[in-house]
């Protein structure tokens, strides 16, 4: 076949006689030369021939995916909208708060109250984590140490055993 790199312009094609056109020799990108080619008038290379499409395939391509004939277009548009992600909702809430603060002309008192609320929440979180009495903490530490000692003994047993582990030679 013909190389798709050849250009098919009227200026590059020379007429040989009434039946044939001659595509002149040209140089490839790697430096080698193509021979001139004699083709029938009106010949179109297979690469440039348009693919046949049926009416049904054209109609299918024009349709909106997921749209059912007879469905209300507004309902379809509403169903296609993706629910907002958590980050989008958070950002919207931040924007609303900033706008409200700008409209209200936030005073120093409001900011001070906000800081107090934040610090109170942080203190409440700290108090919830600490209700373990010292006796329970000591027992927990003992359990953890016993567990580690057991693991150490298992490792020593594996190292001292005369049989090699699978995969060792």
- Measured CA to CA, the distance from residue 73 to residue 124 in angstroms comes to 52
Q: Please report which confidence band the pLDDT of residue 24 belongs to, taking 50, 70 and 90 as the band edges.
A: confident
Q: Please report which confidence band the pLDDT of residue 45 belongs to, taking 50, 70 and 90 as the band edges.
A: confident
20 has a pLDDT exceeding 70: yes
| Beta-carbon contacts of residue 66 (< 8 Å; ≥ 6 apart) | 76, 80
- pLDDT confidence of residue 1: 45
Question: Does the global pTM surpass 0.85?
Answer: no
H or E stretch covering 78: helix 73-80
- pLDDT confidence of residue 68: 82
**By three-state DSSP, how is residue 33 classified?**
strand
- pLDDT confidence of residue 145: 96
């Amino acid at each position: 076949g013909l190389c798709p790199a050849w250009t098919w312009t009227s200026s590059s094609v020379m007429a040989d006689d009434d039946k044939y056109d001659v595509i002149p020799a040209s140089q490839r990108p790697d430096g080698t030369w193509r021979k001139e080619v004699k083709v029938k008038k009106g010949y179109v290379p297979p690469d440039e021939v348009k693919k046949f499409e049926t009416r049904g395939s054209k109609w299918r391509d024009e349709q909106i995916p997921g749209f059912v004939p007879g469905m209300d277009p507004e309902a379809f548009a509403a169903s296609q909208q993706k629910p907002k992600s958590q980050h989008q909702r958070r950002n919207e809430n931040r924007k609303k708060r900033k706008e409200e603060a700008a409209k209200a002309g936030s005073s120093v008192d409001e900011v001070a109250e906000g800081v107090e609320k934040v610090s109170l929440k942080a203190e409440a979180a700290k108090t919830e984590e600490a209700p373990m009495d010292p006796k329970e903490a000591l027992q927990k530490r003992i359990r953890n140490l016993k567990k580690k000692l057991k693991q150490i003994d298992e490792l020593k047993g594996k190292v001292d055993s005369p049989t090699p582990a699978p995969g060792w030679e």
